[in-house]
Amino acid sequence: MKIGQGTWQIGDEKHKEQGEITALRRGIELGMSLIDTAEMYGAGRSEELVGRAVAGLGRESYQLCSKVLPENAGRDRIFASCENSLRRLGADYLDIYLLHWRGGVPLGETVECMERLKTQGKIRSWGVSNFDVCDMEELFNLENGEKCEYNQVLYHIGSRGIEYDLLPWCKAHGVAVMAYCPLAQGGRLRRYGRDIFAEPLLTEIAEKYSATREQILLAFAACECIAIPKSSSVQHTNENAAAARLAVADSDWARLDEVFWPPSCKMHLDIE
Ligand code: NAP
């Protein structure tokens, strides 16, 4: 399944916790087994909530992805950061560990630490987040830089800049792209100041497939990437999992291209 689960702002409010845990567990049951979190989210509260959600489940039935803050990504702090994430998640290892965004620590030092964490069995693979092509090229020129397996970037139907260069670059170099904000944060992220969900063609195409507009957005992001929508309700989680089964015809994607244009030149990498 090319749809996982995001956790930003999950675990932030006590009264929502049980619903969030139930939703995450349901998502795993439905095959959305990759859970994305970060030491930054709620200063560790999201990781703790994920830990409670996966408690008692077989470790092979889900995959954990967490992220280290740039200021913690050097040899003096990353090992403690990783250990703290593991403790909050109640896990022995992370499936994926990402550098959340580029900061002041030299990239080569982070790569060396990521490889050491792999050797120690603390992580199975590593990657980066919010890296554009120039960052990826710099990374791949470093010793072991090509061992980066993931790049997590903002991507949704209203923000398609990565299709011009980053997506093809990652494909050519064997780097899987994870799409964050695949639902444009439920419409909060706008496109040229306009509400994506107010576009009539999106509604028309969603109706044609007896789907919601959000499901069309997810199906779009999952065409080329691993999409990690965040949901805090079982209903949303059910809908998100069902989006993986939507078979939108190429002709309908082409119609959507006329409204949500693909890029025709290099664009700035959108960041949230
Ligand atoms: P998102 O997944 O695009 O949107 C989340 C919003 O959509 C929530 O308000 C959610 O509501 C709503 N939603 C979920 N499923 C829905 C459905 N089926 N129908 C209608 N609404 C639905 O935004 P995001 O959380 O910012 O991004 C996803 C994940 O990417 C994050 O959680 C995080 O793990 C990751 N991320 C990474 C970075 C980075 O720098 N690497 C940055 C941002 C995010 P409810 O909560 O009410 O269900």
Q: What's the pLDDT tens digit per position in 170-184?
A: 999 999 999 999 999
pLDDT of residue 188: 80
What lies within 8 Å, CB to CB, of 106 at 6+ separation is 74
Count Cβ atoms below 10 Å from residue 172 Cβ, excluding itself. 8
CA angle 130, 131, 137 (to 5 degrees): 175
Task: Tell how far the Cα of 121 is from the centroid of ligand 1, in angstroms.
Answer: 30
Q: What's the pLDDT tens digit per position in 61-88?
A: 999 999 999 999 999 999 999 999 999 9
Which residues contact ligand 1 via a Cβ below 6 A? 6-8, 36, 100, 129-130, 152, 180-186, 212, 214, 228-233, 236, 239-240, 272
Average pLDDT of the chain is 96
Using the structure block, give the residue that is written with the tokens 């909530």: 49
Contact 229, 185 (CB under 8 A): no
pTM surpassing 0.95?
yes
From 41, 220, 231, mutation site for ligand 1 pocket: most ligand atoms within 8 A of C-beta:
231
Judge whether residue 16 has pLDDT over 90: yes
Active site residues: 41
Using the structure block, give the residue that is written with the tokens 């790569």: 111
Residue 216 backbone class (left: φ over 0; alpha: ψ -120 to 50; beta: rest): alpha
Judge whether residue 135 has pLDDT over 70: yes
> Tokens representing 27?
């998502």
- pLDDT band at 193; cut points 50, 70, 90: low
> Tokens representing 19?
């619903």
pLDDT of residue 28: 98
DSSP strands (E only) in 189-259: 226-227
pLDDT of residue 191: 75
> Tokens representing 78?
């990353």
